Chain A
Amino acid sequence: MVFQTCMSWREPLSSDWRVKAAEILALFRAGANQSEIDAAGDRLRRLSAMRLEDGERLILRRIAKATRSLNSPPSNFRAFRILLVSNRSLGFFGGDLEVAGLARGLLIDVVETEFGAVSSLAFDPAISPPDGPFDAVFLLQDEGAFHSRLELLDAKAEQIAVDEFIAKLEHTIGALSCKVGAPVIVATIASSADTQISSSDTAVAGSKRRITDAVNSKIAEFAAAGALIPFDLANISARIGAMSFFDPVRFHQAKVPFSLHASPVVADGLAALIAALTGRSGRVLVLDLDNTLWGGVVADDGLHGIRLGQGSAEGEAFLAIQEFAQDLRRRGIVLAVCSKNTEAIAREVFDEHPDMLLRNEEITVFVANFDDKASNLVRIAETLDLGLSSLVFIDDNPAERERVRSSLPFVMVPELGDDPAEFVRTIVASGYFEHLPLNTDDVRRASTYEARTAAKSLLETAKDYSEYLHSLEMVLTIAPFDMVGRARISQLVQKSNQFNLTTKRYTIAELEAIEKDPSRLSWQIRLEDRFADHGMIGVVIVEAIDDAWLIDTWIMSCRVLQRGVENVVMDVLKYQAATSGASALRGAFYPTSRNGLVKDFYDQMGFSLTNRESSGASFYEFDLHGSMINREDYPMAVDVKFNIS
């Protein structure tokens, strides 16, 4: 298989592509009502996710532009404005990035700084970036950003050059995030095919290759510390092959940092990262069984007739797929099975087959029946309380893939080709499981979902809901913001859409300022129960000034809905405010397309409506005189990690 730049996980270009694209463009240019625009948006997303050629990409650039000009763009697209900063020309790349965004439901608006503006933006306080706001900055530098040629074998000079470059990089990131007020995505440096002259370059002090390696490992270090978001351009170059990735003619002609064939692949990779940043990556791997996890059909071939395990190339290829599923699980991805089989026969393979790597207990939801797969996928999403857009569906059967794609447009369905040996690399290249540097909550997530599924079956046996809640043995912890929690706090603030009253997207720097501001109260909320540690599931920020405290931000993870958590937290807040001398608590609800879930939140919390604007923004107040909290009634233990007045 030639991987190169064809994006083999995408579905082939349909024969009526241009006709359909032209219809969408005409509709967007003429204007239409919202439901027509939304329906066209769904069609646009599918067209954009096909294997495009240059001509189709040119058409999509125009459609992307027309889509952004709509007064109200398709509601299934998320707007994302990004500033590109580079020591090279990213003119092409910007267009490719806007097109790549469409395939992942992102309406990316690219602004490119002037060619080579890195240093002036970073070091000249008088230079300001283009008008914001931006959701992110993308910083791409190549080997040309290093110092001029060093003497070889001078280790000291090499160290100085690396230190200087890193100091400059650190300063650039700091200045960019401060001037632009958005997180900085930093590309690793791809080692050019032209500068590594010898196999021993990594052993020759002062070679470009050694400086590149040193810079890249520093980028990784900064990323692990949360100072930047890494984009591994070097890995994309390696995957494509440096000889195709770099194009010397184009470089000399137009200072483009990679070939025009590589550009859409790089753009797709960055779009996948933006999807991860905005909570649009896959969270569940849904696996077919026959000819996907093993060779053959277990119902026909029998337990010992299926091909799996050491000794045959095909059997080992299926093992590699199972190993890959386990790797994803260790990163917090939930595993599910969706198979047309008799459940007992399918389960028997997991229990009895000696070469089976995946275990029954690693599969959080196991659906084996003869129903339509699309409805089974809906069932799986419901069981996990996740949206369909969190599912990645892996099935060797093209008919099943097509059926799911056309009836559930939000499920991610990679094309897989004919050979199971190619499945893993195709899924990896799709970027559907792209993620940011992991935190401990992420790696625990898969087991959390298993615990929730277990808790759900407990619910079915409990006599009433309150008994069920008590039986979960929950422990709620409320603590002030701190450095350890900052990455996860930021993740919740940036990504939560549904249980989010005001949808204020604070940057990490702003969150740090809030943490240090004595007039603001900032809480991180964690929950454990007898099945799992759910990690941080809520963030509350309150302006604790004057007589009436204002709830600025109230976010909860939908993982723990219906647990009574919000009632307990609100009681603690009321108590804290009342004992600090406040006479009222105020709250606001700002409606978005995603937070309808909490439109009655303040009513349920006993607040009274004071004003409702025509936009739907609603303002509430709670009179604190005479309010009290009564811990005995809570279905959970509450651990408050601050001095309660």
Chain B
Amino acid sequence: MMIENILARLEPIIRDLFDEYDGPITGKLSAKDVEQWDSLANVQLIVMAEKAFGVRFTAGEVDGLKNLGDLAACVCAKIS
């Protein structure tokens, strides 16, 4: 699956989590762009992504995620 497809499937999750954010969903999107994206929401985003794609991130991978693109790339590596 392409990164773009993964981002598209992450979009409804982002919209549910951050209902006050209505900007574009790109790989560059990160916590500093979204006010509601605090540490709790970050954990929740990871868990929702795990569920949506049926994958599990390691503790090391979780530490390395800096933006949505990283998350999508990590998913991509696991499912392809």
B29 at the interface (CB under 8 A from A): no
Which of A62, A252, A254, A261 interacts with B40 by CB under 8 Å?
Answer: A254
Name the 4 nearest CB pairs between A and B, nearest first: A55-B16, A260-B47, A91-B40, A254-B43
25 contacts across the A-B interface (CB closer than 8 A): A54-B16, A54-B44, A54-B47, A54-B48, A54-B51, A55-B16, A55-B48, A58-B17, A62-B19, A92-B40, A92-B43, A92-B44, A248-B59, A249-B56, A249-B57, A249-B58, A249-B59, A249-B62, A250-B43, A253-B59, A253-B62, A254-B39, A260-B43, A260-B44, A261-B47
List the B side residues contacting A253 at CB < 8 Å: 43, 59, 62
Please, which residues of chain B bring their CB within 8 A of the CB of A256?
43
Query: What string of 1s and 0s marks CB contacts (under 8 Å) between A256-271 and chain B?
Result: 1000110000000000
Proximity string of chain B (28-67) to chain A, C-beta cutoff 8 Å, 1 when within and 0 when not: 0000000000011001100110010000111100100000
- 8 Å CB interface, A238-292 against B: 248-250, 252-254, 256, 260-261
Q: Flag whether A59 is at the interface (Cβ < 8 A).
A: yes
Shortest Cβ gap from B19 to chain A (Å) = 7
Q: Interface residues of B toward A: which range?
A: 10 to 19
| A252 engages B48 (CB within 8 Å) | no
Cβ of B76 within 8 Å of any chain A Cβ, yes or no, is no
Which chain A residue has the least Cβ–Cβ distance from B61? A249
Q: CA A248 – CA B60 in complex, angstroms?
A: 12
Q: Does B6 contact A (CB under 8 A)?
A: no
- List of B residues within 8 angstroms of A92 by Cβ: 40, 43-44
B-side residues, CB < 8 A to A, are 12-13, 16-17, 19, 39-40, 43-44, 47-48, 51, 56-59, 62
Q: Chain A: interface secondary structure? A: helix
Query: Which chain A positions have C-beta within 8 A of B43?
Result: 92, 250, 253-254, 256, 260
* B20 to A, closest residue via Cβ: A62
Are B57 and A55 closer than 8 Å at their CB atoms?
Answer: no
Please provide the chain A residues from 79 to 124 with a CB less than 8 Å away from any CB of chain B in the complex. Answer: 91-92
State the A residues within 8 Å of B (CB).
54-55, 58-59, 62, 91-92, 248-250, 252-254, 256, 260-261
Given contacts A249-B57, A261-B47, could you give 20 more A-B pairs where the C-beta distance is less than 8 Å? Answer: A54-B16, A54-B48, A54-B51, A55-B12, A58-B16, A58-B19, A59-B16, A62-B19, A91-B40, A92-B40, A92-B43, A249-B58, A249-B59, A249-B62, A250-B47, A252-B59, A253-B59, A254-B40, A256-B43, A260-B43
- Complex alpha-carbon distance, A92 and B13, angstroms: 17
Among A59, A249, A250, the most chain B Cβ lie within 10 Å of the Cβ of: A249
**CB pair B58 A55 closer than 8 Å:** no
A62 to B59, CA, bound (A): 30
Q: Which residues of A contact B39 (CB under 8 A)?
A: 254
Task: Specify which of A59, A62, A252, A253 lies most central, judged by the most chain B CB atoms within 10 Å of its CB.
Answer: A253
Residues of chain B lying within 8 A (CB to CB) of residue A252: 59
Which chain B residues border A261 with CB–CB below 8 Å?
47
Closest A residue to B46 using CB positions: A253
Chain A residues near B12 (CB, 8 Å)?
Answer: 55
Closest to B60 in A: A249
**How many angstroms between the C-alpha atoms of A260 and B47 in the bound complex?**
7
Q: Which residue of A lies closest to B56 (CB)?
A: A249
Partner of B13, one of A55, A59, A91, A249: A55
Smallest Cβ distance from A643 to chain B, in angstroms? 61
Residues of chain A contacted by B48 (CB below 8 angstroms) = 54-55
Distance from B9 Cβ to chain A, minimum over Cβ atoms (Å): 13
Taking the closest CB of chain B, its distance from the CB of A266, in whole angstroms, is: 15
Residues from chain A with Cβ under 8 Å of B56 in the complex: 249
Nearest CB on B from A14, distance (A): 17
Query: Measured between alpha carbons, how far is A252 from B58 in the docked complex, in Å?
Result: 11
Chain B nearest CB: distance from A111 CB in Å? Answer: 16
CA of A253 to CA of B43, assembled, Å: 8
B contact residues around A55 at 8 Å (CB): 12-13, 16, 48
CB-defined contacts of A62 to chain B, threshold 8 Å: 19
Residues of chain A within 8 A of B57, CB atoms compared: 249
Residue of B nearest to A256 (CB): B43
With both chains docked as a complex, state the minimum distance between the C-beta of A52 and any C-beta of chain B, in angstroms. Answer: 12
Nearest to B13 among chain A residues (CB) is: A55
Alpha-carbon separation in the docked complex, A261 to B43 (Å): 12
Taking the closest CB of chain A, its distance from the CB of B29, in whole angstroms, is 18
- What residues of A have a CB within 8 angstroms of the CB of B44 in the complex? 54, 92, 260
Residue of B nearest to A91 (CB): B40
Q: Give complex CA distance A91, B40 in Å.
A: 7
Q: Which residues of B contact A250 (CB under 8 A)?
A: 43, 47
Measured between beta carbons, the chain A residues less than 8 angstroms from B19 are 58, 62
Closest to A57 in B: B16
In angstroms, Cα B80 to Cα A40, docked, is 46
Q: CB-CB < 8 A to A54: which residues of B?
A: 16, 44, 47-48, 51
A252 to B57, CA, bound (A): 13
Closest CB in chain A relative to B43 CB, distance in Å: 5
CA distance A260 to B13 in the complex (A): 16
Could you say which residues of chain A place their CB within 8 Å of the CB of B40? Answer: 91-92, 254
- The CA-CA distance from A390 to B10 in the complex, in Å, is 43
Within the complex, what minimum Cβ distance (angstroms) separates A91 from chain B? 5
Task: Specify which chain A residues have a CB less than 8 angstroms from the CB of B13 in the assembled complex.
Answer: 55
Q: How far is the CA of A248 from the CA of B56 in the complex (A)?
A: 12
Q: How many angstroms from the CA of A58 to the CA of B19 in the assembled complex?
A: 9
Name which residue of chain A comes closest to B47, CB basis. A260
With a CB–CB cut-off of 8 A, which chain A residues contact B62?
A: 249, 253
Query: Which residues of chain B are near A91, meaning CB under 8 Å?
Result: 40
